[in-house]
Amino acid sequence: MPVSDYIVTIGLEVHCQIKTNTKMFCGCETSFADEPNTHTCPTCLGLPGALPVLNEFAIERTILSGMLLGCSTPPTVVWDRKNYFYPDMPKDYQITQMDLPLCLGGGVPLYDHNYPKDAQKKIKNPGKVVELNRIHLEEDVAKSTHLAKTTLIDFNRAGTPLMEIVTEPDIESAEETFAYLKSLQQILIAGGISDADMDKGQMRCDVNISVRKNESDPLGTKIELKNMNSTSAVRRAIHYEVARQCEALDNGESLVQATWRWDEDLGETQEMRTKEDAHDYRYFPDPDLLPVETAAYIEKVRPLVPELPHEKSARFQKELGLTPYDASVITSDIQLVSYFETTITLAKTPGKKVANWIINNFLGLLNEKSVEIQASPVTPAKLSDILNLIEAGTVSNSQAKDLFAALWSTPEKDPAALAKEMGFEPADTGAIDALIDEVITNNPGKVAEIQGGNEKLLNFLTGQVMKASKGKANPKIVTEGLRSKLL
């Protein structure tokens, strides 16, 4: 059977570090790329006699995450020990949550623009919300660096607050998985929960995959792909693993529940170990930590719930007239949202024109120069000045693009003064009026059509005037002049 004849079912366990100053159960600083093993203490190293103390900020941020994703929080939650031996687990057990986690249920909306670009025109389930099972809070493990014959362990990461966001088996394809990870990342960043940078290990996931032939069949044997830290790699790995499982079933082979890994260099999955079940970890309540009553935390974080990306997108469309595409681009990055919202408060230009300018000019130059939004030399105030010059008729749109590029190199200059330096002064009104009359005289046929009802041809005559003025005329003023003379 071809792969397309099988039903694919995917569930994800996403591990996301919470943006905190200290670790989950001690006062050690959380860090990235600092000198190895410099942020440790007896508690996060699991030394005898050391006792854990809860990081309340991490609890609050986990509950807030649940609110962002429509989860419920039980009135009481407890902490459990998950027992296993592994070199990156200092205590030989992990403090986590099993039966009573901080968040239950909820879902993650899949934003259309977060699907892979080559899949955005053929989304199978537009508007889908992936169901969540739970979000629980635990401590991260140390970082292992595997060399040819040895492994290096950095315990700086050990004990960092870590949310595990677990879906139901509700995802149907590699493309939906890709969109899920991107959308979840966007929501967590918008909520200030985490930077969710997969390159820095702040967000990674385990992917559970099974296939079956018929909808009525029980779910197939689950294969887990462990510790994936790239959305594009996740997509490639799922496509490979689904094809591998389908081929095995076609050949009459039995699949065994196990943990596999993705080898990026070889482009294939490889078996690691037979998968343990929950009872293999011997979960039991942590005797050093009391149950937590959540009511006070819930009330504290409820006012912190921000406007989510899809809510902001809908508002921009309704209030500012943005197209769904433009709104999705603007809301896809929290820094871009801030830049846009600041600009529209300062510019006299309609929000839709501001969005067009940012998408078509600002983002293009950012990509060309490889500059992050927050490092842009052209601030929202400077961009609004340029847009206001366009509205005032001081510069044309094409001149504004040249002005924007020049301002990028000399951001300390005033846009109006720079426009004068570049010779972008408004053309003489009388001279432009004479050019309008000349164009009207030279195009009697077009004039007749316009006066007969074809007003779209005003754009043609505007272009002729712009050409005659060598780009100095303001197209908006030219069109208005033509309209007043012909209609």
Kindly state the average pLDDT of the residues 40-47: 94
- In the prediction, which pLDDT does 487 show? 76
Q: Where do the structural domains in the chain lie, given as residue ranges?
A: 3-301, 307-421, 429-486
Residues 44-66 pLDDT 10s: 999 999 999 999 999 999 999 99
Residues 284-307 pLDDT 10s: 999 999 999 999 999 999 999 999
Pick from 190, 143, 137: nearest CA to 166: 137
Pick from 66, 7, 93: nearest CA to 297: 66
CATH class name, domain 429-486: mainly alpha
Residue with tokens 């990461």: 157
Over pLDDT 70: what percentage of the chain? 97
pTM of the model: 0.86
Neighbours of 307 (CB within 10 A): 13
CB 163 within 8 A of CB 16: yes
Pick from 397, 415, 405: nearest CA to 473: 397
- In the prediction, which pLDDT does 28 show? 96
CA distances from 7 to 10, 226, 432 (A): 10, 22, 67
Give the sign of the dihedral formed by CA 87, CA 88, CA 91, CA 95: negative
Angle between helices 458-468 and 475-486 (to 10 degrees): 120
Confidence category of residue 458, pLDDT binned at 50, 70, 90: confident
- In the prediction, which pLDDT does 332 show? 93
- In the prediction, which pLDDT does 276 show? 60
148 CB contacts (<8 Å, ≥6 apart)? none
- In the prediction, which pLDDT does 1 show? 62
